[in-house]
Amino acid sequence: MPGIFYTLIVLAVIIFAIVVANIKIVPQSKAYVIEKLGAYKETWQTGLHVKLPIIERVAKQVSLKEQVADFPPQPVITKDNVTMQIDTVVFFQITDPKLYCYGVEKPMSAIENLSATTLRNIIGELELDHTLTSRDTINAKIRTILDEATDPWGIKVNRVELKNILPPREIQDAMEKQMKAERQRREAILRAEGEKESQVLVAEGQKQSKILAAEADKQAAILHAEAVKESKIRASEGEALAILKVEEAKAKAIELVNAAAPGEAYIRLEGLEAFEKAADGQATKIIIPSEIQSFTGVAKAVAEAVK
């Protein structure tokens, strides 16, 4: 009896161990491909699963996360016969674990070889300069071709990037010299444009200075002319006022003389003074009025009588 009891205990432990060994928990972002007697049975997704011992087995554990494959540099030849090294990075994701397991032998090696041949075909249609400036176009073409080719393998190619493009050393030296010459040319152009702009600004400044000086001279001439004009106007007004005062004084004097009712002798005396003023001039001939002649005679007779 004790022997049978121990045997049952051992059998129970073995059965428990077998059951535990066939209980599988599939973690998140994982998938298990199950085979039954060597043939595909099903794909386990996230959760708890139990398989039959010996008859069923987990053929492959597949990650459903996006994965990155960094392939070593591949030698490629451009259309203008330049050999360069290009390495690619492929971002892919397994969408069908069954096709991934049974679609192709060594899927990663297949993707690497496919990306290398596709890269050679695309670069072979481009020249060196176009290759260096068309990364986005090359990436898009490679991704499209790889994504279409890997569909039967249960793989989706999300993105392809050219990591490095390494031309030969002599090509790199020539490119550096060309870049240096281009920078020197741009520097010379910028310097020439700066000098031209400086000369234009100086000329504009001189032009503006001359214009302002001419405007100032013009304004000064206008102000001077207005001042001279104003001075002449004031002088003319002063002369006119003086003449007016003189005439007013004469008129006043005449008015006073008329008011005093001068006699004939006074009038003749005034005429004699007027004649005396006329005789002081430069005239060669003097016409003496008869009144003054008679008056002169009277004055002469009076003088002789006095003697």
Give pLDDT tens digits along the chain (307 positions).
Answer: 566 777 878 888 888 888 888 888 999 989 999 999 889 999 999 999 988 888 889 999 999 999 999 888 888 888 888 888 888 999 999 999 999 999 888 888 999 999 999 999 998 888 888 888 888 889 999 999 999 999 999 999 999 998 888 887 887 777 778 788 888 888 889 888 888 888 888 888 888 888 988 888 888 888 888 888 887 887 777 777 877 787 777 777 777 766 666 556 556 656 556 555 555 555 555 555 555 455 454 444 444 444 4
CB 174 within 8 A of CB 80: no
Q: Where are the alpha helices (DSSP H) in the chain?
A: 2-21, 97-102, 107-123, 128-133, 135-149, 169-260, 264-279, 290-306
Q: Which residue has the tokens 């060594």?
A: 106
State residue 275's pLDDT score. 54
Q: Which residue has the tokens 């990155």?
A: 68
CB 79 within 8 A of CB 127: yes
DSSP state of 168: -
CA distance 137 to 295: 136
CB 110 within 8 A of CB 153: yes
State residue 240's pLDDT score. 76
Length of the chain: 307
The number of C-alpha atoms within 13 Å of 177 and in the hemisphere containing its C-beta is 6
State residue 91's pLDDT score. 94
CB 55 within 8 A of CB 99: no
Q: What's the one-letter identity of residue 257?
A: V
Which of 169, 145, 165 has the alpha carbon at shortest distance from 157? 145
Query: Per the structure block, which two tokens stand in for 108?
Result: 């990663």
- Number of other residues whose CB lies within 10 A of the CB of residue 4: 8
Q: Can you name the residues that pair with 48 across neighbouring β-strands?
A: 25
- Number of other residues whose CB lies within 10 A of the CB of residue 111: 21
State residue 198's pLDDT score. 87
Angle (CA) 208-210-213 rounded to 5° is 110
Q: What are phi and psi of 46, to 5 degrees?
A: -60, 130
State residue 295's pLDDT score. 47
Q: What are phi and psi of 141, to 5 degrees?
A: -65, -45
CA distance 136 to 112: 20
Angle (CA) 282-284-289 rounded to 5° is 100
